[in-house]
């Protein structure tokens, strides 16, 4: 991984994504790989997020309005809002009620995820006005296999929004 990071052009921010990993594992991975930002995508508490010496993006899975309870306790660099799934942490291809995300606008930088596709990203941007968007399954031709045309179309829709 360190070779990949070293080959990146200047000013590229690298993010390590962790799900319920021990603090020591995260710190060691970040240092060894030379990563810049920690993304916590599991059940980490607000206190867990404060343990890191790197900027932290905390992923929060949104099911309903109750999912927003306690979000203000997170002292992080950004929140990534994703759809709730009781079986997995992200990558479900499902979206959530963007009006809930809109309620958080202006508190912290928001990264919108969850079921975004070239067909709905413009609407999502208009409703939420996030700092950034995160897409994975919405630009795949099959699970785990990205479709270059869908990626291009997604980027074009984001630029036009």
* Structural domain span for residue 17: 2-160
Spatial contact of 115 and 92, defined as CB atoms under 8 Å apart: yes
The domain that holds 98 is classified in CATH as 3.20.20.70
Q: How many domains does the chain have?
A: 1
Q: What is the pLDDT of residues 101-156, one digit of tens each?
A: 988 888 899 999 999 999 999 999 999 999 999 999 999 999 889 999 999 999 99
Find the largest Cα–Cα distance for the chain.
43
Which positions ≥6 away from 9 have C-beta within 8 Å? none
Report in angstroms the alpha-carbon separations of 89 from 10, 101, 121.
Answer: 31, 18, 21
Q: What is the pLDDT of residues 2-45, one digit of tens each?
A: 889 889 999 999 999 999 999 999 999 999 999 999 999 999 99
How much is the pTM?
A: 0.91
């Amino acid at each position: 991984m360190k070779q990949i990071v070293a080959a990146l052009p200047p000013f590229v921010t690298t993010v390590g994504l962790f799900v319920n990993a021990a603090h020591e594992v995260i710190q060691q991975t970040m240092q060894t790989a030379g990563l810049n930002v920690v993304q916590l995508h599991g059940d980490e508490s607000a206190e867990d997020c404060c343990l890191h010496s790197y900027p932290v993006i905390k992923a929060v899975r949104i099911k309903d309005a109750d999912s927003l309870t306690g979000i203000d306790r997170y002292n992080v660099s950004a929140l990534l809002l994703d759809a709730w799934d009781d079986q997995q942490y992200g990558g479900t291809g499902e979206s959530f009620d963007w009006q809930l995300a809109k309620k958080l606008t202006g508190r912290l930088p928001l990264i919108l995820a969850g079921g975004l596709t070239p067909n709905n990203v413009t609407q999502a941007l208009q409703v939420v006005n996030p700092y950034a968007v995160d897409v994975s399954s919405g630009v795949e031709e099959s699970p785990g296999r990205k479709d270059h045309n869908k990626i291009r179309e997604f980027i074009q829709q984001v630029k036009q929004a």
